[in-house]
Amino acid sequence: MPPSLKKEWISEQLCVPMARTCNLYCVYCQNPPAGDPVPREKVASGIRKKGVKAVSLEGGGEPTTNRDFFDWIRTLKAAGAENFMLSTNAVALSDPEFCRRVEKAVDYFTVNFPASDPETYRKATRSVKFAMALKGLENLKALGAERKIRLFHIIFRDNYRRLPLFADWVIKNFPGLAFVNFTFVRNAGRVRDSRDIVPRYGDAEPYLKLALAKLKLKGLKAVVQNMPLCRLRNFEGFSFEFQRWRRGDRILEAGIAKKAKNPACGRCSLAPACCGARADYLRIYGNRELKASNKKPESIGSEAF
């Protein structure tokens, strides 16, 4: 968490789905844009009524493709919003002037960045915009906003072996960012039960642990979302959901599908602090990778948060 941000506003923020379309076409997109218009005045009136102070600008789609982007911010500010987070793929931020204006208006960036090389990026996004997205990140850094970036890295079939390389790349190029958020791909939206997109937990696990260790050794913060604690053995403290449990929040954020019931979880002492596996994962691979633990969640320390 950057020092300029209060801890509370991340969990209290209102998600504003202001995007109608996207400039990428990710294979794992969970919430593909449907093109439906989002009623700006209705959102603003909700903000006024509830006294919302912090908003997260996000999809279905890419918020920066909305040509009324700055009008949205003006309207939401007039309604009382003070803190703005932008969830973006950074492609549009490759334009230095646009990036400069956005950086002034936004307090915190969640940048969806699935690869540190053009080929893997192409497989994830089905686009050749790696250089543009990278330029977007570099523009933010040049504006002094590196510490406002959370790098969101979805783990999927074509990038999990490169997780340690991704960590090296972050360490070399963006050592001042707020943190790296690894998220195990959800079998939702465009994924449609595809084993070509969803890897096994166990296959991704060693690469993920190596990436986490590399980042930790260099003093960079990282969290992992949507990975059961039994697949993060000895790295449980990096789990985002575990960290939520430690600070007394609900384990799963609003809108996230519940964990699936299965026998190992019923016998597991980590269950209260674990995101478990989702039914959509078990539908592809079954539950044989889940192993009940005797570890007490209270005995596990949180990593760097």
Could you tell me which stretch among 49-57, 94-102, 240-248, 284-292 binds ligand SF4 (CB under 6 A)? 284-292
269: left (phi over 0), alpha (psi -120 to 50) or beta: alpha
Could you tell me which stretch among 68-76, 194-202, 250-258, 289-297 binds ligand SF4 (CB under 6 A)? 289-297
Q: With helix as H, strand as E and coil as C, how does 281-301 read?
A: HHHHHCCCCCCCCCCCHHHCC
Residue 229 DSSP SS3? helix
Which of 292, 297, 304, 305 lies at the binding interface for ligand SF4 (CB under 6 A)? 292
* 230 near ligand SF4 (CB under 6 A): yes
* 191 near ligand SF4 (CB under 6 A): no
Dihedral angle sign, alpha carbons of residues 51, 56, 60, 65: positive
Q: Which of 103, 92, 17, 12 is nearest to 60 (CA)?
A: 17
* 277 near ligand SF4 (CB under 6 A): yes
Q: Which of 114, 127, 111 is nearest to 25 (CA)?
A: 127
* 290 near ligand SF4 (CB under 6 A): yes
- Using CA atoms, how far apart are residues 225 and 241, in angstroms rounded to an integer? 7
| Minimum separation from the CB atom of position 282 to ligand SF4 (A) | 10
Which of 73, 93, 115, 270 lies at the binding interface for ligand SF4 (CB under 6 A)? 270
Quick note: the x/- pattern for ligand SF4 over 196-225, rule CB under 6 A, is ------------------------------
Which of 268, 281, 282, 300 lies at the binding interface for ligand SF4 (CB under 6 A)? 268
Q: Which of 196, 168, 194 is nearest to 180 (CA)?
A: 168
Q: Which of 158, 151, 165 is nearest to 120 (CA)?
A: 158
* 70 near ligand SF4 (CB under 6 A): no
* 155 near ligand SF4 (CB under 6 A): no
Binding residues vs ligand SF4 (CB under 6 A): 22, 24-26, 29, 32, 59, 61-62, 89, 112, 228-230, 264-265, 268, 270-271, 274, 276-277, 290-293
